[in-house]
Chain A
Amino acid sequence: MPDSEAYIDAVLAGDRDAFRHLVRLHKDSAWGIALSVLKDAFTARDAVQQAFVQAWLHLGSFRREASFRTWLHRIVIREALKLAKEQQQPAADFADTAYIPDPQPPESGGELRDAHQRYYINQALTRLDARESLVLKLFYLEAYSIREISQLTAWSESNVKVLLYRARQNMRVLLEKTFRLKPEDLYLP
């Protein structure tokens, strides 16, 4: 991944268009984090856009003790949680089975197609509590440690551990009991 530092220096030197490169580099991970909290693609887009604008406004105060990616993710998480609170989104019904389609029959070798796997996994993540899905993404996808997640979210480390434990349990329940999928159905070598 290209170094964000060079683009940051260019922006601070007055090259506004260099910020576009930072947006391209980090928008996907930022959107994934916002989506895990807000559960809606368009709302998540708005949160990420606000986060990038705030990052641009305060780029001069970025002290570079952590990476730009970490700094940006912290802003995204705060914006997403703020937006979720403002909208007072109702918690996704964990046990809601009304909209779950019948799972596709497994193909030869017991493996689902890529798109179906992604669909069911994201359906399960949508049904998880916002904090649980956020912690799952930060820990397993963005590879943050418990301590780093605690710093990003301002939650205590013990709280993060509890959320991670619950998220793993609930994810398994959703996949195995609600969607009637087995781990080996989703296994990718």
Chain B
Amino acid sequence: MNPNSLPQNPEDDRFMQQLLRKSAEPMPFPDFDDEVMSAITALEAEAVVPQKVPAIESSAAEAAIAADYREELRRMRTASLRLSWLFFLIGLAAGIALLLSTPSYNIGFLGFQGREAWILIQGICLIWLLMQADQLLLLTKEYLSGSRYSAAKRNKRSAA
């Protein structure tokens, strides 16, 4: 059964909330504060102080910091990709509008005249458009699969 398709059950949620609130107990170790401060004092005696720069001593804290950075990078990548698509579509619409609204002036382009010149211009624009679209689709595919930024690739690059 797909839990995503289950209707919300407020009564069940309230019941669970009451259960879990009932389960909450204070820590049964009255000397815990002193034990933590003693451990910190012992570390200070070894000349370890709170550092402004992250010290890589704990995989847990390091992972927490790395997770923050990864989340921030993910948000930046998402915003960049959305803007790329937005401007691509705006440019596409503007280009189409320009081509349709421009009357067929008798212009010359690279040795071609009139209609042939317009066809050549449109052909060049179409090729350029397809190249940009291809790059944007590739970027989107990499973003969705996460392959560009995967740990495996990073390790491979750093090993190389």
Q: A: which residues have CB within 8 A of B?
A: 11-12, 16-17, 19-20, 23-24, 27-28, 31-32, 41, 45, 48-49, 51-61, 63, 65, 71, 74-75, 78-79, 82, 114, 117-118, 121-122, 125, 136-137, 140-141, 151, 154, 158, 161-162, 164-165, 168, 171, 183, 186-188
Tell me if B21 and A141 are in contact (CB < 8 A). yes
Nearest A residue (CB) for B40? A56
Q: Which of B36, B51, B63 is the one whose CB lies under 8 Å from A61?
A: B51
B32 at the interface (CB under 8 A from A): yes
Contact with A along B55-66 (1 / 0, CB 8 A): 101111101110
User: With contacts A118-B22, A161-B3, A165-B3 known, is A78 near B60, CB below 8 A?
Assistant: yes
Q: B: which residues have CB within 8 A of A?
A: 3-4, 6, 12-13, 15-29, 32-33, 35-37, 39-41, 43-44, 48, 50-55, 57-61, 63-65, 67-68, 71
27 contacts between A and B (CB under 8 A): A17-B37, A19-B37, A20-B33, A28-B24, A28-B27, A45-B29, A45-B32, A54-B58, A56-B40, A56-B43, A57-B48, A57-B50, A57-B55, A58-B54, A58-B65, A59-B50, A60-B50, A61-B51, A61-B53, A78-B60, A121-B20, A122-B25, A140-B16, A141-B20, A141-B24, A154-B67, A161-B4
- Give the chain A neighbours of B63 by CB distance below 8 A: 78, 154
Q: How far is the CA of A169 from the CA of B6 in the complex (A)?
A: 13
Q: How far is the CA of A136 from the CA of B13 in the complex (A)?
A: 11
User: With contacts A41-B28, A45-B29, A78-B63 known, is A57 near B43, CB below 8 A?
Assistant: yes
Nearest B residue (CB) for A30? B27
- Give the chain B neighbours of A78 by CB distance below 8 A: 59-60, 63-64
Tell me if A183 and B15 are in contact (CB < 8 A). yes
**Smallest beta-carbon distance A37→chain B, Å:** 13
**Taking chain B's interface residues, is the majority helix, strand, or loop, or is none over half, making it mixed?**
helix
6 further A-B contacts with Cβ under 8 Å, apart from A154-B67, A158-B4, are A17-B37, A45-B29, A48-B27, A78-B59, A122-B25, A164-B3
- Give the chain A neighbours of B25 by CB distance below 8 A: 28, 32, 118, 122
Nearest A residue (CB) for B57? A57
**Smallest beta-carbon distance B54→chain A, Å:** 4
User: With contacts A53-B39, A59-B50, A60-B52 known, is A121 near B23, CB below 8 A?
Assistant: yes
- Give the chain A neighbours of B44 by CB distance below 8 A: 16
Tell me if A27 and B27 are in contact (CB < 8 A). yes
- Give the chain B neighbours of A122 by CB distance below 8 A: 23, 25
Nearest B residue (CB) for A121? B23
Tell me if A187 and B18 are in contact (CB < 8 A). yes
Q: How far is the CA of A57 from the CA of B16 in the complex (A)?
A: 36
Task: Please name the 9 residue pairs, one residue from A and one from B, whose CB atoms are nearest each other, closest first.
Answer: A165-B3, A78-B60, A140-B20, A61-B54, A141-B20, A31-B27, A60-B52, A58-B61, A121-B23
